[in-house]
Amino acid sequence: MALEAHLNELKLKHKHMKTQISSENKFPSVDEAKVNYLKRQKMRIKEEILSIEARAAS
C-alpha cells in the first residue's frame, strides 16, 4: 500500500512539473536553463514511475 501511495505522489509531481514547464514557456523571455532543469526533473520522475510500475507488475 505504501508503494501505491508513493506512486500516486510521483504521478502528481509529474503532472505538476508538466504544468510548471508549460507556464514557464508562456513568458516572452523564457529561462531556458530553468525549463531544461524542470524537463530533466520531470523525466527523472517519469523513469521512477515506470520502474515502480514494472516492479509492481512482476
pLDDT tens-digit map of 3-58: 889 999 999 999 999 999 999 999 888 899 999 999 999 999 999 999 999 988 87
Q: What's the total number of domains in the chain?
A: 1
Distances (CA, A) of 58 to 14, 50, 51, 54: 23, 12, 11, 6
pTM: 0.86
Q: In this model, does residue 1 exceed pLDDT 70?
A: no
Sole residue written with cell 523564457: 30
pLDDT, one tens digit per residue, over 32-47 is: 999 999 999 999 999 9
Residue 2 clears pLDDT 90, i.e. is over it? no
Q: Which range of residues forms the domain containing residue 24?
A: 2-57
